[in-house]
Structure 1
Amino acid sequence: MGTTTGEGETGPSLVDELRAVVDRYLGRLRVDLAGPPARPDPDVIALLADPFSSVDDVHDRLSAAESHLRGRGDRRAVFLTVYVAMTARVRAGIEGETFDDPAWVRRYLVAFAEHYRKALVAFERDERVAPAWRVAFGASLGGETLVIQDALLGINAHIVNDLALALDDVGVGTGEERDRRHADHLAVNRVLKSLADVVQTTLAEVYDAAGLEEADELLGRLDERATLVGLRTARAFAWENAVTLADWPRLSSFVRWRVRTVSTGAAYALLAPGLDQQVMAELADIEHGEPVLAALSDAVHRDDTRPPA
């Protein structure tokens, strides 16, 4: 059984977490990751060196960073494509009065983006960065991942590692205020989950068009791997950890170890989907022969003004 945190949201079970711990440490023995660039990209640093000041600032600068990385063929753009679309939709929700506490959601969105900004800049500068982000960035730069892996690695690092810390930054409140903020939190995260589904659907269409029957098996196995922590349960995991940080500050070190270890274990699991290497190579060939990044960007940005459901 997992930990239930409202609206049927269930966090990872103890067994899931133990599996993530094992993958966290065994993963070091079997995954070869690219290191940071020899020199920081001056355009990335110029765009993201300064803290974000508003939701509009988050959207505009992340959009510019996504365009820059995608133009260079840098696969770190894959997660940014999804993230920019999420930001646009949440912004539309704020403007459309979707949320009970729009001022808190604005702070939430900026604080959440700050964790990503700091991680990317730190990686560029070869500074200390959370292990899940080092895996995500290093794998994407290594050139051996599939687009779906690039997307899921970024989503995993940002939700499982960063989200509880961002929620702690803005405060989860107490009593009825906490209940209202939890409802807004779930609405924000449903956007990211829906966009992850768009990524998977878009890639499935690309693979199917190429006649690769094993694509469904790959996507299914990656989805299964993602549930290790899981991406389906990470909303509850993040909220649970944020509440622990708020109510039991003496457990801060444990919570930070927990999110760091589980997110890193999940990252290594996503890099080992258990599919035949020949099939993986065929999928990679299809991606290299198709404008996949452009198709993905078009798909996730198709309705950026739609607020969260």
Structure 2
Amino acid sequence: MKATTIGDVLSILTGIIADTTSRRDPLGYFAALYRQVTLEVKNGIVAGSFDDGPRMSGFDASFANRYFAAYETYTSGGTPTRSWQFAFDRVRTGKLIILQNLLLGINAHVNLDLGVVTGTKFRGSALSGFHADFDHLNEILASLIPRVRAVIEQFSPRIGELTELADDAPELALRFSVEAARDDAWRIATLLSVTPSTFVAPAVELIDGKAKLVGRVVADQPEPVASIVRHIRAAESTDVAAIITALDSVV
């Protein structure tokens, strides 16, 4: 699975969603969200809201290819990057709530993949010319959060109990994850854009390790939060196919 245009990305994601839906595999949750984000990015390209539409289409493909490589490696029995391995393993346990599933995917793809692709694709001074489109890409993801929250609430009737910890906690968790990861990804890109090629791979290993640690924070909650999460999970829908379909319909 390798994309060269945003159209390819949508086609590959559609295939992953169809496969995970038929197998009732919760790995399809993130794929569904990702396809919706990609549709909005494509709409933005068509509308001319990016500084360079063709550049964004190519970048979107390069960005997605890291997820596709991780997914294909994992589902074929191989070992992807540590942050993706952790995310996929935890999702497959069936013990996480929908919100955690999505946050793990966002973490691995933004905290690792986005910074790596941006920093290696736009080297040196070329990076500054991509900053506006980089920010707009992440604004699109953030704009979908209220609609994603609505889907989560549809299948997770107790998710609102997280508000005992913070007002509007589900949306805040998604929004903070996106915003914090975006800012970290730009810092990573800035570093990698000036890193000599021989040191890029070791640097990416370190970044991957950090992203895995963030994933642990998302998935392995301490008490009393862990008890609340289990309580929420007990009431969540087990209709994986319906959840995937709903997440793939927010745009």
Please give the range of the TM-score, normalised by the shorter of the 2 chains: 0.7 to 0.9
Cα deviations across residues 183-205 of structure 1 (Å, max 9, x unaligned)?
00111112223334432343235
Q: State yes or no: 1:107 paired with 2:58.
A: yes
Deviation at 1:159, TM superposition (A): 0.4
Residue in 2 that maps onto 1:151: 102
Cα separation, 2, equivalents of 1:225 and 1:86: 14
State the match for 1:190 in structure 2.
139
Aligned residues: 247
TM-score, length of structure 1 as denominator length: 0.71
Structure 2 residue 196 is matched with structure 1 residue 281:
no
**How far 1:94 sits from its partner (Å)?**
0.9
The structure 1 residue matched to 2:111, chosen from 130, 145, 160, is: 160
Cα distance 1:271–1:243, how it changes in 2: closer, same or farther (>3 A)?
A: same
Pick one of 46, 51, 54 that aligns with 1:95.
Answer: 46
Among residues 210, 217, 231, which one is paired with 2:178 in the alignment?
231
**Whole-Å separation in 2 of the counterparts to 1:95 and 1:213:** 37
Out of 280-289 and 107-116, give the one that drifted further: 280-289
Q: Deviation digits for residues 112-140 of structure 1, max 9, x if unmatched?
A: 01000100111112223111101111111
Work out whether 1:264 is the aligned partner of 2:215.
Answer: no
The separation in 1 between residues aligned to 2:154 and 2:36, in whole angstroms, is 20
Structure 2: 5+ residue stretches without partners: none
Q: Indicate how the Cα distance of structure 1 residues 252 and 222 shifts in structure 2: closer, same or farther if over 3 A, else same.
A: farther
**Structure 2 counterparts to residues 1-309 of structure 1, below 5 A:** 48=1, 51-171=2-122, 174=125, 178-207=127-156, 210=157, 214-217=161-164, 220=169, 230-249=177-196, 251-253=199-201, 255-274=203-222, 275-288=224-237, 291=239, 294=242, 297-298=245-246, 301-303=249-251
The CA distance in 2 between the partners of 1:74 and 1:278, in whole Å, is: 25
Q: Is the 8 A contact 2:119 2:191 kept in 1?
A: no
Measure the CA separation in 1 of the matches of 2:95 and 2:151: 20
User: Taking structure 1 as reference, are residues 167 and 213 closer, same or farther at Cα in structure 2, changes over 3 Å only?
Assistant: closer
- C-alpha distance in structure 1 between counterparts of 2:20 and 2:203, whole Å: 33
**Cα gap change, 1:73 to 1:255, in 2 (>3 Å):** same
- Following superposition, the deviation at residue 79 of structure 1 comes to 0.5
On the 8 A contact 1:225/1:269 being kept in 2, the answer is: no
Letter of the 2:110 partner, please give it. I
Whether the 8 Å contact between 1:133 and 1:157 is mirrored in structure 2 is yes
Greater fraction helix: 2
Alpha-carbon distance change, 138 to 197 in structure 1, aligned in 2, over 3 angstroms: farther
- Separation in 2, partners of 1:119, 1:184: 25
> How far does residue 180 in structure 1 lie from its aligned partner after superposition?
3.4
Percent same amino acid among aligned pairs? 22
- CA gap of 1:292–1:69, structure 2 versus 1, over 3 A, is closer
Distance 1:99 1:212 in 2: 35
Deviations 1:164-213 (A, max 9, x none): 22113432562xx5433110011111222333443234323544xx4676
Q: Deviations over 1:17-58 (max 9, x none)?
A: xxxxxxxxxxxxxxxxxxxxxxxxxxxxxxx3xx21321111
